[in-house]
Chain A
Amino acid sequence: MSNHLSEEQLIGYIHQTLTDAEREEIDQHLAECAKCRAHLDDHESLQRRIQYGLANDLRKASASSHKFFAAIAPRLKRGRRLTTVQIAVERLSVVAALAAIFLLVYGLITHTLPIDQTSIEEPDTTAAMFRGNPRRTGAYDAEVVPGLGEEVWTFTLEKPVLASPTFADGTIYFANMGGNIYALDSQTGQEEWMVSTGVVIFSSPVIGDEGGLYVNAGNWIYILDGRTGERKGEYPAHWTDSSPAVADGVVYMGTNIGYFYALDIESGEVKWKVTTHDSVVSSPAVVDGTVYFGSGDRHLYALDARTGREVWKFETEGRVDSSPAIYGDVVYFGSYDGCLYAVDRETGEKLWCFSTWEGIFSSPAIAGGMVYFGDKGGHFYALDAEDGREMWQVQVKGMISSSPAVANGVVYFGSSAGYLHALDARTGEELWQFEASAGIKSSPIVADGMVYFGSEDGTFYAVR
């Protein structure tokens, strides 16, 4: 049929190289054409396969003999003769540093921004979505027996589990790279049901208001009955790594195409849609009628949850794939520019930022006035939520690409080296570590007295 979308159109669409008008036109067609949606699904699935495959292959490679710094040090000493340009740069930087110190001191004197402690919420009691609650704080109100770090049960699958689990009413839900969604008894690990979608799933299931389970798989959002796994509905959506948020009868979700949607649960209609200029991997946080999310276009957005109207946007110097966490009147999130930002929730003004070695793509966890996050270099930080001061820092083996969970004064996080670490949230002292059989990319959750997470070899763990 001549009016179907061409390969060229679809390829431009998934690579974000079209004009807004071209993109609109394609959207209109996709909304009505299941055939083209299926075709788009194939393209996006392949795109993911290339991205994931390439990252994995490169990570496996290591130089046959690591060339140490010592090999270039003598050359570097000789090579680094001070040129006039360098001297000028150094002088400038001294001036800049003095100016920065002046501004900093001036700022501290004139512009202290205390956080109103009374407005800080207690952690929510559920673990019903990625990062635990609509504020995405990664804080869980669950009793965990401290100090053991022993396996309670495991559930073994062939395909990796990269997405994070969700918990509700004694059941753990998660999806794996084989495209299956599992419901397991949280105490025993017994399978309650399994549903196969046939596409790779990166996002976490969300428990909606009525106990429905919302899962983004390929170009669809599936609504399943949480108890039986029975399919209750499905809506056309877009591929996404981000996990949707469900609040007040609306599903909010980002897409790899760069759109951000609000879908009405009853009708499946798009209530509103906004366009950002790169993929939205970050999972939205919804608080008090405002929805917050980051985009690959380097911004964090705050939109009116009812209308999609922009309240403010905050520009960083790198992709914002990290999911924002809301604590008190502050939004916390990381950027590929290496900073962990604290931004005023009302005005979008920067309160502070904390610079690290690495681009930050995982999401911070916040509890008890502290912000916790890890980076690709295996550094794990605890900052004072109020002023961004570093409280403690540890380094572990491997990369930390998942996000931490905090419960009862213990912070948990996984690493690519396959360890789940449990640290004292106040001091950073290690309480225990648990060695899994493969790398941990799935963010752990705490529920029902245990810590739950998936691993790259397909094993799903319950540990305490």
Chain B
Amino acid sequence: MIAISALIERWRAGDERAAQTLYDHFWDRTFWLAYGLLGDADDAEEVAQDALYYALANIARFDPNRGSFNTWLHTITVSRSRNKRRGLRPRLVSLRDWLGWGGDVPDSTPGQEKKLVQAEAQSEVWEAVQGLSPRLREAVLLRYWAGHTYREMADIMGCPVPTAQSRVRLAYQNLRTALTSESLADLGDVEERIV
């Protein structure tokens, strides 16, 4: 078995197979983070690909002494998702449009596949997380989903540690308001809504 660090070394030395292995290995989780941040499968796919491309093309900039490859990749993914949200990059033509499925649907509305993906993932928690402001959504995904420390979060989000902490607390408070309005007493049954 080859460790991530060894793959990074091999890719630095120009072994393209190592890059492919890293790409395939980190694809799902990069897509998931971007999807959580953006709430749109097509956008997330584009950001995930872009982030992985950037990470691999700039592998010389990655410094293992400053954090794990995963943290570095998350830093790039968060930054790319912010850009995507601000509309800094032009949309690429999606496969759906190219094949003519729903080609007359404007970009801002979900296409067929996106609807499918999103319908599967619409739990109340998901809805509530998507209802957060972008910065708070970042905080929730990085802490609750990715399990980063506050120090790592501060590096990824580009803010001081206390800010990372207060964003997580505020995000939680907002989620709490959104999720407990129906019934706080019924928490024993939570998984009914989750599963």
Residues of chain A at the chain B interface (Cβ within 8 Å): 7, 11-12, 15, 17, 42-43, 45-67, 69, 71-73, 75-77, 79-80, 83, 85-86, 89-90, 93, 97, 159-160, 177-179, 197-200, 278, 296, 317-319, 336-338, 355-357, 359, 377, 379, 381, 390, 393, 456
Contact = CB atoms under 8 A, between A and B. Distances in A.
A152 B56 CA distance: 50
A63 B1 contact: no
B156 interface: no
Contacts of B93: none
B190 A200 contact: yes
Nearest to A63: B45
Nearest to B49: A67
Given A12-B169, A15-B165, A61-B32, A75 B53 contact: yes
Contact of A58 (B48, B122, B145, B192): B145
B82 interface: no
B9 A64 contact: no
A71 B49 contact: yes
A177 B187 contact: no
Interface in B159-195: 165-166, 168-169, 172-173, 175-176, 179-180, 184, 187-195
Given A75-B53, A357-B4, A379-B1, A17 B27 contact: no
Contacts of A65: 45, 95, 113
18 contacts: A43-B176, A45-B187, A46-B175, A49-B190, A50-B179, A51-B144, A54-B141, A57-B123, A61-B35, A64-B41, A64-B96, A73-B16, A79-B53, A80-B56, A89-B12, A90-B13, A159-B191, A357-B2
Contacts of B57: 75-76, 79-80
B44 to A, nearest CB: 7
Given A45-B190, A61-B117, 18 more contacts: A11-B172, A11-B173, A12-B169, A47-B144, A50-B125, A50-B179, A52-B194, A53-B123, A63-B48, A79-B53, A159-B195, A160-B191, A177-B191, A296-B147, A296-B149, A355-B5, A356-B1, A357-B2
Contact of B179 (A49, A159, A377): A49
Contact of B68 (A67, A86, A199, A318): A318
Contacts of A61: 31-32, 35, 41, 117, 120-121
Contacts of A319: 147
Interface stretch (B17-25, B73-81, B83-91): B17-25
Nearest to B31: A63
Contacts of B121: 57-58, 60-61
Contact of B195 (A43, A75, A160): A160
B140 to A, nearest CB: 7
Given A49-B179, A336-B147, A381 B1 contact: yes
Contacts of B191: 52, 159-160, 177-178, 200
A77 B19 CA distance: 10
Contacts of A71: 49
A65 B141 CA distance: 23
Provide the main secondary structure of the chain B interface.
helix
Interface of B: 1-6, 9, 12-14, 16, 19-20, 23-25, 27-28, 31-32, 35-36, 41-42, 44-45, 48-49, 52-53, 56-57, 59-61, 68, 70, 95-96, 111, 113-114, 116-117, 120-126, 128-129, 140-141, 143-145, 147, 149-150, 165-166, 168-169, 172-173, 175-176, 179-180, 184, 187-195
* 6 cross-chain pairs, A with B, having the tightest CB-CB distances, nearest first: A53-B125, A355-B3, A64-B113, A86-B60, A198-B188, A79-B57
A195 B24 CA distance: 45
Contacts of B194: 49, 52-53, 56
Contact of B187 (A49, A57, A336): A49
A317 B152 CA distance: 12
A66 B111 CA distance: 16
Nearest to A179: B188
A447 to B, nearest CB: 27
Given A60-B120, A90-B13, A198-B188, A83 B60 contact: yes
B33 to A, nearest CB: 8
